[in-house]
Amino acid sequence: MNLRAVNAIYSFEMARTGRTIWQSIVSPVLSTSLYFVVFGAAIGSRITEIEGVPYGAFIVPGLIMLTLLTQSTMNASFGIYFPRFTGTIYEILSAPVSPFEIVLGYVGAAATKSIILGLIILATSWLFVPLHIAHPFWMVAFLVLTATTFSLLGFIIGIWAEGFEKLQIVPLLIITPLTFLGGTFYSTSVLPPLWQKIALFNPVVYLISGFRWSFFEIADVSHSVSVGMTLFFLVVCLATVWWMFRTGYKLKK
């Protein structure tokens, strides 16, 4: 493996975060803090507990997932789209660097940034509500798996997109709504039976449910099912990326 090439791509993408720290780190943290204030204080005064967990603490895993999904996708999509936009992607493709090493550099950097952001938001949440993590290992596992999976999805979007406006379509019009409907601020068990069944077709439900289980040992679906669905989505994204490089989809003139 060409570790020097991987490190070059990874370091360049991580350095971009330092140059745009207000947009990359500060802005998402402030936005999430507002969710704590609005939903934790306003709604929390009316809904004191859900399944024995204080409402302010209950929404923490969902808010972390909301940020993790959107930021992973947007970081990775912009990271690979910008070289396509400037034409430098052809220099990378012609260099002695394998597709695996290219993906490892870009996706690794996007996932790292998202994980750091998720941990910052987790630390920030302690300023608002008391938290107890029942299963730290599984919390980190869900964090890493989700960040990696959605960074791969962002990488796919970055190759597929033909303009900057298309980079926003999936994160803003698909991922964010699915996250809000996936149990970020509530448990799907409070929904009518029909809507509980419909909610199971939302893949984000499994991510939030498993992540929330790692905190409070409560879940809308079994945590083993959540892990299985996350791994399935990861495999689908890996297969799609492999196909893109195999066929040269939008990577070759």
Neighbour-count burial of 181, counting CB atoms closer than 10 A to its CB (0-12 exposed, 13-18 middle, 19+ buried): middle
Note the pLDDT of residue 144: 95
Q: Which segments of 52-175 does DSSP mark as H helices, in order?
A: 55-58, 60-86, 89-94, 99-125, 136-160, 164-170
pLDDT at residue 42 is higher than 80: no
Residue 1 pLDDT grade (very low, low, confident, very high; cuts 50, 70, 90): confident
**Is 128 in contact with 36 (CB distance < 8 Å)?**
yes
Percentage, residues of the chain above pLDDT 90: 41
pLDDT at residue 66 is higher than 70: yes
Which of the two residues, 35 and 110, has the higher pLDDT score? 110
Note the pLDDT of residue 40: 63
Mean pLDDT in the chain? 87
pLDDT tens profile 160-206: 988 888 888 888 888 888 988 888 888 888 888 888 888 889 999 99
pLDDT at residue 207 is higher than 90: yes
- In angstroms, the CA 208 to CA 69 distance is 10
- In angstroms, the CA 29 to CA 213 distance is 23
At residue 72, the 3 state secondary structure works out as: helix
